Amino acid sequence: MKRNRYLPFGYEVVDGSICISKNEAIIVQSIFEGYKSGLSYQSIADDLEARKVNYLENQYDWNKNRVKRILENKKYLGMKQMPRLIEEHLFNEVQELIQNKTFNYRETPTEVIILRKLLCCDICKNPLSRYITHNRDVWKCEHPECRVSVPKRMLEKALLEVQTKIINEKETVKPVIPDHCRTKIDENIATLNESLKSEMNKSSPDEEKIKELIFESARTVYDQMDDGSNERVAIFLRERLSQTMVENKVNYILVTEISSAIYVTREKSLILKLKSDQTIQ
């Protein structure tokens, strides 16, 4: 342990190269996880002092400012020749918590809660994650190969455009009846019919088996028939939209009432999936 620290806590120089200090890295991880779980700067610092964790050689005078600097240090992400010590999703979750607490300990905004439930990647269909730094607020897919991300301001602008479009064109909201709901004779039904035909053509057909095949075929057809649920949802959506005025801001309550998902494309455009399964772009 050095008397003076020139590298962030968690790193050391070995043979002229910056490396992760195994023991200190465990402490850094525990600081991030502790803060994420709800511990304060001071409670983390108090715990480190009580455990006599050295910050410098024979010095374990931890304080909340030192803990805060560790939590906000981007070098742990693997910047400026430093090996990655903290995963990006954990780092960004902590930054969001810090930001929320900084602004008068505000609760997570309603729109953020709604967007977490609805925003998805148009490529892999997985939910998007929110990443916050001091000057950026971005929603993006965790899978780098998808290359899907959208800044907060661009997202709100695109969402407002889709909202305005659907309010102005509410009569175009129609129920979507999936292909399998058109009483289509698919492979399963075709197979059942062939089995039924084969059994009936036998010199001594098995009546019980014939009944079983008939009932199974009827049940398969019935299961694929449209129950009218999407039609009822479409009617509700048109009624809800008819009660809504065009606004110059996103109505997140409306968005959560009418949408089942919002897909973000690589081009940063939005595809709104209504609860009737219709998509609006």
Q: pLDDT tens-digit profile of 98-150?
A: 887 765 545 567 788 888 889 999 999 999 988 877 678 899 898 889 999 99
| Phi (first) and psi of residue 181, to 5 degrees | -95, 15
Closest-CA residue to 49 (of 35, 33, 37, 31): 31
Note the pLDDT of residue 217: 66
Note the pLDDT of residue 28: 94
Rg (CA), the chain: 29
Task: Spell out the long-range contacts of 140-145 with Cβ–Cβ below 8 A and sequence spacing 24 or more.
Answer: 141/264, 142/89
The structural domains of the chain, with segments of one domain joined by +, span 11-86, 137-176+228-280, 190-223
Q: What is the pLDDT of residues 88-112, one digit of tens each?
A: 999 999 988 888 776 554 556 778 8
Q: What is the pTM of this model?
A: 0.49
SS3 45: helix
Note the pLDDT of residue 134: 66
**Tally of CB atoms within 10 A around 192:** 21
Rounded distance between C-alpha atoms, residue 241 and residue 238, angstroms: 5
For the chain, list residues with pLDDT below 50.
1-4, 105, 180-185, 222, 225-227
Is 262:120 a contact under the CB 8 Å cutoff? Answer: yes
Note the pLDDT of residue 223: 52
